[in-house]
């Protein structure tokens, strides 16, 4: 069970259900999917049928209504096989959170009625000149009677091409800046002026689609404003506080799969007449992988338990995100080293693990930004 000793029967059932699905349905064709940068729609539909796209939508609205702990267990299992698929399914948790936390009852039902049957709700914050610095977005939403007119271009949008409804962050009053000037809106894909732009040809997470989403004079009714006008930046940051620990579970899944692959390879590979596993240098590298992975997993579970107790600590979330993604990069780099030349070859799975791990140090706020958040919080408390 990979160091999960305190799982409830429900958690174990969820873990095994997802593990069997990933090993049976996703793993066999993964090399082709990665090479061609896609994943078959039928596999995505299987994930939808299992409810993996609506894990955090409450049961009262038709979703799975899972705890953060349960979602972390599931996302580790998905990440062990393919981090890209974990992002495809898990990103809906990010997208629906603003509405589920800050939206009206009507908005919650509105979004759930689109997402639960199989829809996607991409989170549209990043722009070409506004990545970690979300304050630099240029998308605007100008009031026009009882509507807002949205103009702007979002980039690096996960599931942008699959989106049925977007959560879009835009300035309603640029002069007020982030404290009163940015707002959040629900924007349906089929509205005039909404279009999908270029798809990114990424180094890793190639089974997940990432693309531009463009808004040109898109008229959105006032009822689609999520939360209060001017509270968009705060909504975005509070959403990320909740999502970072859950996304980090995928990094843990990557690490665990690398450990499993390295142990098997080291046992099978013979050098100088003995298995590679007989070499202390290799044993110690694998031991360090295990130490780091266990630490990362416990951080994820701790942060998830905090969320389930209603505690949303941004400093903890940033610590988890930075540590788990840095660990994934270290573990996959060492995994490639253990595999040697084969680790550098696409014939073996290790190089994909390394490519996939890298993005977790970048998206949802780079790890440098996480350190800014962590240090700023510590010195502010002092």
The three-state secondary structure class of 156 is: strand
Q: Which residues contact 49 (CB under 8 A, 6 or more apart)?
A: none
By C-alpha distance, which of 70, 166, 164, 185 is closest to 118?
164
CB atoms within 10 A of CB 225: 22
Phi (first) and psi of residue 186, to 5 degrees: -95, 125
Q: Which residues contact 180 (CB under 8 A, 6 or more apart)?
A: 173, 230
Residue 217: which region, alpha, beta or left (left: phi > 0; alpha: psi -120 to 50)?
A: left
Q: Which residues contact 19 (CB under 8 A, 6 or more apart)?
A: 77, 80
CB contact burial 197-224 (16+ within 10 A = b; e otherwise) = eeebebebbbbbbbbbbbbeebebeeeb
Give CA 88 to chain center in angstroms.
8
Instruction: Enumerate the active-site residues.
Output: 364
Residue 313: which region, alpha, beta or left (left: phi > 0; alpha: psi -120 to 50)?
A: beta
Compute the distance between CA of residue 245 and CA of residue 305 in angstroms, rounded to an integer: 10
Residue 167, strand partner residues: 123, 186
Compute the distance between CA of residue 218 and CA of residue 151 in angstroms, rounded to an integer: 7
């Amino acid at each position: 069970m990979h160091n999960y000793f305190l799982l409830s029967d429900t958690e174990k059932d969820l873990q095994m259900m997802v593990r069997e699905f990933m090993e049976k349905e996703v793993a066999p064709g993964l090399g082709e999917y990665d090479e061609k940068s896609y994943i078959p729609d039928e596999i995505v539909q299987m994930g939808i049928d299992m409810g993996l796209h609506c894990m955090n939508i409450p049961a009262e609205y038709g979703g799975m209504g899972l705890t953060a702990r349960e979602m972390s267990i599931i996302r580790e299992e998905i990440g062990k096989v393919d981090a890209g698929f974990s992002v495809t399914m898990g990103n809906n948790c990010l997208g629906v959170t603003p509405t589920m936390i800050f939206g009206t009852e009507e908005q919650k039902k509105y979004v759930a009625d689109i997402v639960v049957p199989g829809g996607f709700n991409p989170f549209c914050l990043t722009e070409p000149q506004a990545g970690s610095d979300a304050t630099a977005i240029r998308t605007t939403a100008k009031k026009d009677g009882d509507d807002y007119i949205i103009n702007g271009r979002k980039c690096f949008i996960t599931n942008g091409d699959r989106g049925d409804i977007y959560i879009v962050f835009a300035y309603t009053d640029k002069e007020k800046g982030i404290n009163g000037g940015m707002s959040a809106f629900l924007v349906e894909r089929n509205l005039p002026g909404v279009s999908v732009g270029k798809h990114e040809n990424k180094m890793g997470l190639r089974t997940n689609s990432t693309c531009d989403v463009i808004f040109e004079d898109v008229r959105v009714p006032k009822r689609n404003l999520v939360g209060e006008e001017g509270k968009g930046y705060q909504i975005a940051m509070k959403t990320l506080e909740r999502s970072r620990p859950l996304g980090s579970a995928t990094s843990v899944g990557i690490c665990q799969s690398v450990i499993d692959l390295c142990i098997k390879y080291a046992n099978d590979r013979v050098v100088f007449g003995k298995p590679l596993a007989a070499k202390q240098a290799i044993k110690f590298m694998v031991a360090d992988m295990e130490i780091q992975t266990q630490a990362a997993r416990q951080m994820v579970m701790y942060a998830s338990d905090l969320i389930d107790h209603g505690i949303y600590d941004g400093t903890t979330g940033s610590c988890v995100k930075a540590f788990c993604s840095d660990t994934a990069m270290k573990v996959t780099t060492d995994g490639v080293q253990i595999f040697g030349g084969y680790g550098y070859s696409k014939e073996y799975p290790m190089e994909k693990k390394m490519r996939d791990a890298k993005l977790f140090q970048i998206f949802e706020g780079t790890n440098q930004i996480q350190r800014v958040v962590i240090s700023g919080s510590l010195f502010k408390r002092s």
